[in-house]
A and B are shown apart, each in its own frame.
Chain A
Amino acid sequence: MRRFALISVPYIWLLALFLVPFLIVIKISLSDTVISIPPYAPTLTFSEGWGGIVAFFKGLDFETFEFLMSDDLYWKAYLSSLKIASIATFMTLLVGYPIAYGMTRAAPEWRPTLLMLVILPFWTSFLIRVYAWMGILGQEGLVNQALLWLGLIDQPLVILNTPTAVYIGIVYTYLPFMILPIYSALEKLDDSLLEAAEDLGCSKLSAFWLVTWPLSRNGIIAGCFLVFIPTLGEFVIPSLLGGSQTLMIGKVLWEEFFSNRDWPVASAVAVILLLILIIPIVLFQRNEQKQREAEG
């Protein structure tokens, strides 16, 4: 009984904060757009009794989803988001792995400091940090000024409002989520395993590929999911750094809600995004579980 009570706490939490809002979003996605407040119909009213509830359910349909299918803007936005999220995740891995590896090679007394430095950016607002990148990457920005001053370029480079700026923003923002799980996997690695590999005929490089890399795999997978999942729906970075060139589903969602005031379409976009995300989330959960089993 006590166990049941304990387990029910997170479930009630999930129910209240995830399932109920999600059901509301589904409901809106099945409604029609009207010019009113709220901007969709039908709305559920209990004052008209049973007949009202029946009429409400009859008013729901899949029109918005059909519309999403027919307009290729949405599919392109999904695909482009998937592409940007995948490439950005890979780039974050490329930058994050060496950093995590270097941290575990550092003298033990330095490691807490290095960890602090990795987490340090979280102490300021995410929004401010992205705005700062606008200042750095713009035509008059620090990067261009430095390159001009060094004489490497004559004309300022166009970085801001291009996909490059979006990648830079994502890699910068999500780097700690990549570094931390990889670091914790690498830190557990016993040095004597590398010695054993060398003893059995590996060079330092092949010892890395045959021992270090596979043993940090769980950290890599966790890091990739932690970057990929939020990046897929990312809105702030593409809208502030990507300009009109970058098509990402988060931005489409925002525009549907606030520019077009088309809540049903926006909700449908969100529902499909969630369905797409469920696949990696489930995979992520399975990976975590397998890891726990392997350690237990």
Chain B
Amino acid sequence: MVQVATPKPVFAPWDDPTLAPLIQFKNVTKRFGDFVAIDDMTIDIYEREFFALLGPSGCGKTTMMRMLAGFERPTEGKIFLGGQDIDAIPPNRRSVNMMFQSYALFPHLSVWDNIAFGLRRQKLPKDAISDRVNEMLRLTRLSKFAHRKPHQISGGQRQRVALARSLARAPKLLLLDEPLGALDKKLRQETQFELMDIQEKTGTTFVIVTHDQEEAMTVASRVAVMDEGVMVQVDTPARIYEAPNSVYVADFIGDVNIIEGRATQTDENVHIVWAEGQPNIVGTATDASFGVGDAVHFAIRPEKVSISAEKPADTPNAFEGKILDIAYLGNISTYYVKMPSGQTIKAQTANTRRLSRRDFTWDDSVWVSFTTTAGVCLKG
């Protein structure tokens, strides 16, 4: 996962009790008939945040955005924008712009006119509109296609038009529903940095839906992992990755080994019985506290598991197994090591040497090991 170094003073308005949030969801529930799309959601999003919504399809991400934009009204609860209850404010009066998941480009207007559409409604002078549109076209690299109609450009280009159109008005709050999904990796990364740049310059608050965890990790100030209308965890990318609060989050973000067991001894460390004939796993207790006999899910990232031919001496967490499979991914390799008790533990190593000079191969007997602070103990 790419993690960009956070700039200068740490940006963490959510830790500052004196700051008022830009967006507040207060016990918001949204039902479609009997179906609960958003379930009693309470959340604060602060100004200048880059807030990423992550979650499986149908978990309510678009619904949440549509409520912010004004196309859906909460069934229960209230939404505040800049301290004001926005329930009665129609979409065209909110200083919010949304990029639609379906793009919703106007088929009868050229790319240029699509982007100018919102600016014209603001009754700006012609020159100002034209400057702004050209700037947006440059930013999204669409200058060449300005006079085409939406059906005459590719899917990725359409996505960029939709992005440009929502950016053009420079709103206080931008809602981007999967803004970069159709772009190739390189263009996606470039656009991500453009977005972060725009955000730095204009101070716009972004709420962005993405299916790409790497994207969420790269751009977001905070990531919200959703499941069935509930925010499971809202935290910085680093904490979401390093300290997931549940097996769901750990499993959803990145690759992970989940080892189920039972706590036997709980001092500053949690000792976990997890397989017959194997030494206990020693892990650090995080937020959750465990009593003796409690079920524990020990989550550890494959890249934090090392693999060696000899038993390492410096950690209690060392287990012998057999290499079941090796997945070669270019820069890294993942080893699937089978324990005598049946579980498979994934270990990842960087491929610093040529493939032919790899140390281990199929069916080799190896030791997997990790430090006591490498994983997290979770309740479920």
- Do the beta carbons of A202 and B104 come within 8 Å of each other? no
Measured in the bound complex, the distance between the Cα atoms of B103 and A190 in whole Å is: 11
The residue among A195, A196, A214, A294 with the most chain B CB atoms within 10 A of its own CB is: A196
- Do the beta carbons of B106 and A193 come within 8 Å of each other? yes
- Do the beta carbons of A200 and B108 come within 8 Å of each other? no
Asked if B151 is at the interface (CB within 8 A of a chain A CB), the reply is yes
Q: State which of A195, A201, A294 has its C-beta within 8 Å of the C-beta of B104.
A: A195
- Shortest C-beta distance, B164 to chain A (Å), equals 12
Contacting residues of chain A (188-237) with chain B, CB-CB under 8 angstroms: 190, 192-193, 195-203, 206, 210-211, 214-215, 217
Residues of A within 8 A of B245 (CB): none
- Do the beta carbons of A197 and B151 come within 8 Å of each other? no
Contacting residues of chain A (153-212) with chain B, CB-CB under 8 angstroms: 190, 192-193, 195-203, 206, 210-211
- Do the beta carbons of A202 and B121 come within 8 Å of each other? yes
- Do the beta carbons of A199 and B69 come within 8 Å of each other? yes
- Do the beta carbons of B104 and A196 come within 8 Å of each other? yes
Residues of A within 8 A of B149 (CB): 294
User: Of all chain A residues, which has the CB nearest B98?
Assistant: A199
Given contacts A190-B102, A294-B151, contact A199 B108 (CB under 8 A): no
Measured in the bound complex, the distance between the Cα atoms of B117 and A201 in whole Å is: 9
Given contacts A214-B108, A215-B107, A294-B151, contact A201 B102 (CB under 8 A): no
Residues of A within 8 A of B121 (CB): 200-202, 206
Residues of B within 8 A of A203 (CB): 90, 92
Contact pattern, B 228-242, Cβ under 8 Å of A = 1, otherwise 0: 000000000000000
Q: How many residues of A contact B (CB 8 A)?
A: 20
- Do the beta carbons of A199 and B91 come within 8 Å of each other? yes
Residues of A within 8 A of B165 (CB): 196, 200
- Shortest C-beta distance, A289 to chain B (Å), equals 16
- Do the beta carbons of A201 and B71 come within 8 Å of each other? no
Measured in the bound complex, the distance between the Cα atoms of B117 and A195 in whole Å is: 13
Measured in the bound complex, the distance between the Cα atoms of B169 and A198 in whole Å is: 13
Residues of A within 8 A of B90 (CB): 198, 203
Contacting residues of chain B (333-370) with chain A, CB-CB under 8 angstroms: none
Asked if B284 is at the interface (CB within 8 A of a chain A CB), the reply is no
- Do the beta carbons of A198 and B104 come within 8 Å of each other? no
Given contacts A198-B92, A201-B121, contact A192 B108 (CB under 8 A): no
Contact pattern, B 68-99, Cβ under 8 Å of A = 1, otherwise 0: 01110000000000000000001110001110
Residues of B within 8 A of A201 (CB): 92, 118, 121-122, 169
Measured in the bound complex, the distance between the Cα atoms of B106 and A203 in whole Å is: 16
- Shortest C-beta distance, B88 to chain A (Å), equals 15
- Do the beta carbons of B92 and A196 come within 8 Å of each other? no
Contact pattern, B 35-76, Cβ under 8 Å of A = 1, otherwise 0: 000000000000000000000000000000000011100000
Residues of A within 8 A of B319 (CB): none
User: Of all chain A residues, which has the CB nearest B118?
Assistant: A200
Contacting residues of chain B (143-189) with chain A, CB-CB under 8 angstroms: 149, 151, 165-166, 169
Residues of A within 8 A of B92 (CB): 198-203
Measured in the bound complex, the distance between the Cα atoms of B219 and A69 in whole Å is: 79
The residue among B71, B98, B104, B121 with the most chain A CB atoms within 10 A of its own CB is: B104
- Do the beta carbons of B106 and A195 come within 8 Å of each other? no
Q: State which of A195, A200, A214 has its C-beta within 8 Å of the C-beta of B169.
A: A200
Measured in the bound complex, the distance between the Cα atoms of B121 and A201 in whole Å is: 6
- Do the beta carbons of B108 and A196 come within 8 Å of each other? no
Sample of 8 further A-B pairs with CB below 8 A, known A200-B92, A203-B92, A214-B108? A192-B104, A196-B105, A197-B106, A198-B70, A198-B90, A199-B70, A200-B97, A200-B121
A-B contact pairs, 21 of them (CB 8 A): A195-B69, A195-B91, A196-B98, A196-B100, A196-B105, A198-B90, A198-B92, A199-B69, A199-B96, A199-B97, A199-B166, A200-B117, A200-B118, A200-B121, A200-B165, A200-B169, A201-B118, A201-B121, A202-B121, A210-B117, A211-B106
